[in-house]
Structure 1
Amino acid sequence: MSSTVSTTAVDDSRTTPRRWAAVAVLSLSTFLVVTSEMLPIGVLTPMAEGLGISTGATGSSLTVTGLVAAVTAPLVPRLLGGLDRRAVLAVAMVVLALGNALTALASGFAFMVLSRVILGLAMGTVWGMAAAVTTRLVAPRDVALAVSFVIGGVAAASVAGVPLGTMVGDALGWRAAFTALAIAALVLAAALTVALPRLPRPAASAGDDGPAQALLTPAVAIGLAMVALLVTAHFAAYTYVRPVLEEHSGLAPTAIAPLLLVYGLFGLAGNFLAGATAARRSRLTILTLAGGIALAVALSALSGQTSWVAWVWIALWGAAYGGVSVAGQLWMTRAVPHRVEQIAGLYVGVFTASIALGALLGGVVVEAAGLVLLLWSAAALALVSLLVGVFGPRR
C-alpha cells in the first residue's frame, strides 16, 4: 500500500480488515445520528406530554433537525478545505452528544428546538461526509458494498436504534433514552479517532469548489427529484406512525416497539438488496421502492382496525424505504464520480430537507384533517415520485 493511501482513494485489489473496521465505525456513526434524529417518532406521545406540547409540535422536531442538516451537508465539503476528515467526524460526534444531552434536559418547546438545531449540525456533517469518506477507505471493487454498509446504518437505526430507544423510553422515560444516545456519541467520537486513518482533502477533489450548478446533470436532477418526493411522502406519514398504529389500527402501546422492529428488520434487508441492484440499475431500483412505499402507505390507510394487516404494511414499508437512501447515494456517486464529496453533500442536503418538509407537512395535515387524510396524501405523493421516474428524461 502506498504512503498516500490516507489522502487518496484506495487503489489496492483488496480492502484490509483494518479498513473494514473503519467502515464499521462509520456505519455505527450514521446509525447513531439517524437514531438521534428519529427517536422522537418512537417516544412521540410521552415526549409531548413531558414537554407539555402537542404531538404535532413534538413531531416538528424532525423538521428542525432536517432543515439544519439540509443546510449543513452541502456546505461542509466547501468549508473543510484541507482539514482532516477524521477529526471533523469526531468533533461532529461530540456535537451530536451535546444535542442529545440538551434534548434530555429540555423543559419546553424552545429548549427542544435549540437542542435539535445542534443535533442537525452534527447530523448534516456526519451523514454528508460518510459515503465520500467510505469510498476512500476501500478498494474500488468494494465501494458499493462498503457504501451499503455505511448507509445501512440508516436502516439499522430503525432495526435497533428507534425500537430500543422506544423500549428504554417506555421503561425509564424518554429523557433516559436521549441521555444514552449522548453517551454513545462520545464513545463513537473516540472510536472514529482510533479507527480511521488520517484523511485530509484528496488531491483528486481539488476542483470541488466549482459551481454547484455543474453538479445538476440530467441524471442527478431526476434522481434528486424522485428522492425528494419519496422522502417527503415517507416522513409526512412515518413521523406519525405511532399514533397511526395506536389510534387508527387499534394496537396496544406494548405492540409498537415489536412492530417498529419488524419495520427495521425489513428495512435493513431492503438496504442491502437495493444496494446490490442499484449498483447496476439505480433508476429501476428507485422506481420499485417508490411503488412499494405508495402501496404500503395506502394499505395503512385502508386497514383500519384490522390489526394483523398492520404487520403486513409495516414490513412492506420498511423494505421499500430501507433501500431509498443507499440506492439514491449510489445513483449520485456514479453520476458525478469526480466530485464525490460535493455530490454526497448535495444529496444529503436534499434528503434531509425532504425529511424536514415531510415532517412539517405531516404535522400540518394531521392537525387540520386527521391521520387518514395524511396517509392518503403521502401515498399519492409517493405515486407522483414513481411517475416522475417513469416519464422523466432517460439521460
Structure 2
Amino acid sequence: MKNAEVLAPANSPSAEARWAPVLAVALSTFTVVSAEMMPVGLLTPMSDSLSVTDGVTGLSLTITGLIGAAVSPFAPALIGLRDRKGVLVGHMLLLALGNAVTAVAPNFPVLVAGRILLGLALGVVWGLVPGLAPRLVDGPRIALASTMVFSGVSIASVLGVPLGTYLAALLDWRAAFWALALLGLVCATVLARTLPALPVHERGRTDGIAGALRQKGITAGLAVTTLVVLGHFTGYTYVRPVLEADAGLGTGVIAACLLVYGLAGVAGNFTLGPLSGRRPRAAMVTALAGVTLAVGLLPVLTGSVVTVLLVLVVWGASYGGVSVSTQTWIRTAAPARIEASGALWAGVFNASIALGSLAGGLVIDHAGNRAVLLTAALTTAAGLLVALAARPRPV
C-alpha cells in the first residue's frame, strides 16, 4: 500500500496488557547499543593492543554505524513477509557472533570483520525496533512502551560501557566483548520465549522511504536527529582521551564518570520520554539545548572532578531523551508509516553515529581535544535551531 502499512497486531490475546515482550526488546536495545558503543570506554587499551591511533580505533564505531545505516532503512523491504519475531532472534545471534569475532581479533582488519557483522545485525534490529511498541501495547500505553524500549539506549551507558570499562581494567578489553557475545545469546533466548508472533500482511516497499521523505514533519525530524547525533558522537566517542589528557583523570575515575553520565541518561530518558508523548517538540528542544550546553562547557570546566561530573550529568540527562523524543517526533509526523519511517530514522541515526565518530577522529588527530568538543557543540546547536523552527505536524 502506498499510504499506509499493513502490520498485523501481535498474535497474542493478552498482548496489550503484557510488558514482558517490551522488556525483552528493551534488553535487546541495551545489548545492541552496548556493543556498538563499547569502543568509547575502551579506546585507549584497544588502540595500544592493536598498535593503531585513537582516531583509527574510533573507526570501529564508524564502520558499524555505516553498515547499520545502510541496512536499517531497507530492513522492512529486505525482510519481506517474514515474521518479525524470528528475524529479531536470528539477528541477535548474529550480533553475538560479531562480538565474539571482535573479542579474538589479533589485528585491526579482523576487528573490522567483527564490527561489520555487528553492523548487519544492528541495522536489521534498529530497522524494526521503532515500530514495535505500537504492536505490543494499546494506544494509551504506546508512549510508556516506547520510553521503556529506548531506555535500553540510556541504560547501555549506565551498565554497558562503564561495566565494560571496569571489566577491561580488571581483565582485558577483550573480556568486555566476550561478555557482549554472551549477552547476545541471552537476548535471543529471551526474545524467542517472550515475543508474540509479529506477522506482516503487506510486503515492505522501497518506495515507502520516498513517501515518508515527502512529509515535512518527517524530514524536519530526520534533520534534527542527524545534527544532534552527529554532534554528540563527534564529542562523546573521544570523551575518554579528553578526560585523560585535559582533566587528568585515571581509568577508575573515568569509568565512574561514565557511570554517572549513564545514570543521568536513564533519568533523562524517563523524564523526556513521557513528555515527548504529550509534547514531542518541547521534549526535543529540551534535549538538544542540554546537549549543546554541556558539550560547549566541558572544554573549559575540566579543572576539577566536580565540574566534570556536573557537565556529564547535564550531557547524559539531555542525550538520554534524544532517542525517544526524536523517534516520537517521527511517529507523530506520520502515524500511518510507523515501520517505514522508523526504519528510515534508524538509518539516519546510525549514519550520524558513523559520521560523528569519523569526524571526531579527524578533528582530534589534527586539531586536538578542545577542537573536537567545539565542533560537537556547534553541530548540536544547528540541530537545536532546526527543532525551534519546525514542528512534527503542519500548523
Quick one: distance in 2 between partners of 1:254 and 1:206?
50
After alignment, is 240-249 or 127-136 more displaced? 127-136
The one-letter amino acid paired with 1:40 is P
Asked whether 1:391 is paired with 2:392, we answer no
Correspondence for 1:170: 169
Contact persistence 1:86–1:192 (CA under 8 A): yes
Contact persistence 1:10–1:137 (CA under 8 A): no
Asked whether 1:222 is paired with 2:220, we answer yes
**Structure-2 change in CA distance of 1:338 and 1:125 (3 Å):** same
Contact persistence 2:237–2:360 (CA under 8 A): yes
Quick one: distance in 2 between partners of 1:259 and 1:195?
35
Correspondence for 1:295: 293
Displacement after TM superposition at 1:128 (Å): 2.0
Quick one: distance in 2 between partners of 1:15 and 1:327?
23
The one-letter amino acid paired with 1:245 is L
**Structure-2 change in CA distance of 1:331 and 1:11 (3 Å):** farther
Correspondence for 1:109: 108
Per-residue CA deviation, residues 102-125 of structure 1 (Å, 9 max, x unaligned), is: 100111121111111110111111
Correspondence for 1:100: 99
Percentage identity across paired residues of the two chains: 46
Displacement after TM superposition at 1:288 (Å): 1.4
Displacement after TM superposition at 1:147 (Å): 0.9
Correspondence for 2:210: 213
Displacement after TM superposition at 1:134 (Å): 2.4
Correspondence for 2:332: 334
Unaligned segments of structure 2, at least 5 residues: 1-6
Contact persistence 1:9–1:135 (CA under 8 A): no
Quick one: distance in 1 between partners of 2:308 and 2:83?
46
Contact persistence 1:51–1:108 (CA under 8 A): yes
Quick one: distance in 1 between partners of 2:14 and 2:326?
26
**Structure-2 change in CA distance of 1:341 and 1:238 (3 Å):** same
Quick one: distance in 1 between partners of 2:191 and 2:15?
22
Asked whether 1:273 is paired with 2:271, we answer yes
The one-letter amino acid paired with 1:318 is G
Per-residue CA deviation, residues 61-87 of structure 1 (Å, 9 max, x unaligned), is: 110010000011111101112101111
**Structure-2 change in CA distance of 1:68 and 1:207 (3 Å):** closer
The one-letter amino acid paired with 1:219 is G
| Runs of 4 or more consecutive aligned structure 1 residues displaced over 6 Å after TM superposition | 10-14
Displacement after TM superposition at 1:12 (Å): 8.5
After alignment, is 38-47 or 124-133 more displaced? 124-133
Contact persistence 1:96–1:123 (CA under 8 A): yes
Per-residue CA deviation, residues 17-66 of structure 1 (Å, 9 max, x unaligned), is: xx311111110000000000001111111111111111111111110010
Displacement after TM superposition at 1:152 (Å): 0.8
Equivalent pairs counted in the alignment come to 386
Quick one: distance in 2 between partners of 1:260 and 1:207?
39
The one-letter amino acid paired with 1:153 is G
Displacement after TM superposition at 1:7 (Å): 3.3
Unaligned segments of structure 1, at least 5 residues: 1-5
Asked whether 1:353 is paired with 2:327, we answer no
Displacement after TM superposition at 1:391 (Å): 3.0
Quick one: distance in 1 between partners of 2:132 and 2:358?
31
The one-letter amino acid paired with 1:140 is G
Quick one: distance in 2 between partners of 1:291 and 1:97?
36
The one-letter amino acid paired with 2:80 is G
After alignment, is 385-394 or 46-55 more displaced? 385-394
Quick one: distance in 1 between partners of 2:327 and 2:374?
28
Contact persistence 2:10–2:199 (CA under 8 A): no
SS at match of 1:136: helix
Contact persistence 1:13–1:139 (CA under 8 A): no
Quick one: distance in 1 between partners of 2:46 and 2:85?
34
**Structure-2 change in CA distance of 1:7 and 1:96 (3 Å):** same
**Structure-2 change in CA distance of 1:196 and 1:11 (3 Å):** closer
**Structure-2 change in CA distance of 1:140 and 1:392 (3 Å):** closer
Correspondence for 2:8: 7
Asked whether 1:198 is paired with 2:163, we answer no
Contact persistence 1:47–1:174 (CA under 8 A): yes
Correspondence for 1:239: 237
After alignment, is 233-242 or 273-282 more displaced? 273-282
Quick one: distance in 1 between partners of 2:181 and 2:305?
35
Q: How does 1:1-395 map to 2 (within 5 A)?
A: 7-8=8-9, 15-16=16-17, 19-201=18-200, 203=201, 210-216=207-213, 217-392=215-390, 395=394
Displacement after TM superposition at 1:265 (Å): 0.6
Contact persistence 1:289–1:324 (CA under 8 A): yes
Correspondence for 1:3: none
Quick one: distance in 1 between partners of 2:211 and 2:314?
37
**Structure-2 change in CA distance of 1:26 and 1:207 (3 Å):** closer
Contact persistence 2:77–2:204 (CA under 8 A): no
Displacement after TM superposition at 1:198 (Å): 1.3
Contact persistence 1:46–1:174 (CA under 8 A): yes
TM-score, structure 1 as length reference: 0.94
Correspondence for 2:3: none
Per-residue CA deviation, residues 340-383 of structure 1 (Å, 9 max, x unaligned), is: 11111000000000000100000000000000011111111111
The one-letter amino acid paired with 1:105 is V
Quick one: distance in 2 between partners of 1:309 and 1:10?
51
